[in-house]
Structure 1
């Protein structure tokens, strides 16, 4: 139910942002708000507390983000508070980003490596993934030293595991199978 509600709000604000030619600005401002709220647990708790009056929440948000948000985004946040929907803002923003990326033909690829990729490696990987998917690729890097080497790519519900750990596991399986047939 909440995910459907978040989808409805996200679709509505997306359509209005397109009409106003503010797609990028709205996304940046929504992400600014959700990042700030997530980074400050006291603020998040204040906004999510059911006994805090809506007007107090609206006043607080207006003061915190004064000069940072367009009237369009500010009014959207105040509407969410009026409707008691401020707790689903992170889900709305995720849905909005997904809708906007789909419209822009952008695919986000989570790339897991042992150490950060160089700019050249990032460009080459994004180019290769773009050739495969037919869409523009935005890399979302993550570091995981447990993969030992190589890369893991999560892309549109698919997993490409070219990590050293996976290759060693495959080798172990092949060797174990050969050992079984040799006996």
Structure 2
């Protein structure tokens, strides 16, 4: 499966596809991928940055200047800086996180990899990640990239989503199922 066969749509899809094509042409795909991961992490860790990106009250020029300063501090490549600058000037920063996700899907498809979204109650250890990657690789028959998230609401266990398949072994879901089953008793 190549990136050309990956279906993307909407604003995020169009922008991510454009960046992906630019990165391929410039032979900077790995650099851009690393930069996008850095930006995604920064968006997740900084409430102020997330507010800047999502706020319709901040002017496009202020968003562009602020993002340029942030990206300068993060040390991202010129290609990514120009891309995010264009996104800001076009008032599309609200979709930046989605653009990064779609870029990741395009990259995975180009490399013949499958992305597995894994949600756990606590951060997985390196050993757990390696075991999960190995298990998913044998299950899917493809190299697997794990997109790990922590959600303490699931109490324990894992929720794994690969493509349209999902395995939910979280304690929260098991408790909900038990609660539902108990309503029918008595």
So what's the TM-score if we normalise by structure 1? 0.71
Could you say which residue in structure 1 is the equivalent of 2:36? 30
Q: Structure 2: which 5+ residue stretches go unaligned?
A: 1-8, 182-186
Q: Structure 1: which 5+ residue stretches go unaligned?
A: 174-183
RMSD between aligned alpha carbons? Answer: 3.5
Indicate whether 1:10 and 2:16 are aligned: yes
> Deviation string for 1:36-80 (max 9, x for gaps)?
2443333443443345252x3222222222261211111111111
1:72 and 1:157, CA in 2 relative to 1: closer, same or farther beyond 3 A? same
1:70 and 1:123, CA in 2 relative to 1: closer, same or farther beyond 3 A? closer
Could you say which residue in structure 2 is the equivalent of 1:21? 27
Moved over 6 A (4+): none
Indicate whether 1:89 and 2:96 are aligned: yes
Distance in 1 between residues matched to 2:41 and 2:65, nearest whole Å? 19
125-134 or 70-79, which deviates more: 125-134
Q: Which has the larger radius of gyration?
A: 1
What are the residue-to-residue correspondences of 1:1-183 with 2, within 5 Å? Answer: 4-47=10-53, 48-50=55-57, 52-54=59-61, 56-66=62-72, 68-112=75-119, 119-139=126-146, 140=148, 142=150, 151-162=158-169, 166=174
153-162 or 128-137, which deviates more: 153-162
1:63 and 1:135, CA in 2 relative to 1: closer, same or farther beyond 3 A? same
1:85 and 1:136, CA in 2 relative to 1: closer, same or farther beyond 3 A? same
So what's the TM-score if we normalise by structure 2? 0.70
1:117 and 1:50, CA in 2 relative to 1: closer, same or farther beyond 3 A? closer
> Deviation string for 1:97-138 (max 9, x for gaps)?
111112112222234556665544433332222122121112
